[in-house]
Amino acid sequence: MSNSNNTAADFINPNQDTRITQGSQVALHFEVALENGTVIDSTFSRPEPVRLIIGDESLLPGFENVLNNLRAGDTRTAHLEPEQAFGEWNKDNVQTFSRTQFALTEANPEVGMMIEFEDKGKNTLPGVISKVTQEDVEVDFNHPLAGQSLLFKVQIFKVTPPGQVAVQLM
């Protein structure tokens, strides 16, 4: 006997069968570590998983690619090459400024100091001072993890299909 109305038999629990695609809402824990095991960022100690929408740019595309087609309950660890993570280190992103330019904002620039610059479009650019001489200050505008291979570990808790709203049943 076929019934066109939705019944319990027609119900699919998105937590078990829904795979991650573009636009999916995902609840997950993640960890980013260097190849030597040094943890850079982790949400595993948080009581609740983080929530994001695939494609909302909260994760880099290389990280999102690891998530594609996973479903709730899945755990993965992926090795990401620099071009899949924060990119290759680029010497063109290192710029040298006159020490007098720094005297206006930072009287004593030191190696390792993070400085925020404003570009012509009024966007903020963070840079790390990589070298200081009597005349010049060298600033590295590469992401601090540029050129690094990373380990990305993820545990998926919930996947809600694109365009649907997650409902918690009591």
* DSSP string covering 102-150: HHTT-SS--TT-EEEEE-TTS-EEEEEEEEE-SSEEEEE-S-TTTT--E
If you average pLDDT over residues 35-53, what whole number do you get?
95
Residue 75 and residue 81 in contact, taking contact as beta carbons nearer than 8 Å: no
Q: Pick from 31, 8, 12: which is nearest to 71 by CA?
A: 12
Please give the radius of gyration of the chain, using alpha carbons only, rounded to the nearest integer.
23
Name the token pair of 26: 């995902």
pLDDT, tens digit, 9 for 90 and up, residues 95-145: 998 888 776 566 688 899 988 888 788 888 889 999 999 899 999 999 989
Q: Pick from 19, 35, 34: which is nearest to 67 by CA?
A: 19
Give pLDDT, residue 162. Answer: 85
At 6, the pLDDT band (50, 70, 90 cuts) reads: very low
Give pLDDT, residue 16. Answer: 61
Residue 156 and residue 67 in contact, taking contact as beta carbons nearer than 8 Å: yes
| pTM across the whole model | 0.73
Residue 148 and residue 34 in contact, taking contact as beta carbons nearer than 8 Å: yes
Residue 55 and residue 64 in contact, taking contact as beta carbons nearer than 8 Å: yes
Give pLDDT, residue 107. Answer: 67
Alpha-helical regions (H) of the chain: 14-17, 61-67, 99-103
Residue 26 and residue 156 in contact, taking contact as beta carbons nearer than 8 Å: yes
At 166, the pLDDT band (50, 70, 90 cuts) reads: low
Written as one letter, the residue type at 30 is: F
Q: State yes or no: pLDDT of 49 exceeds 60.
A: yes
| % of the chain surpassing 90 pLDDT | 62
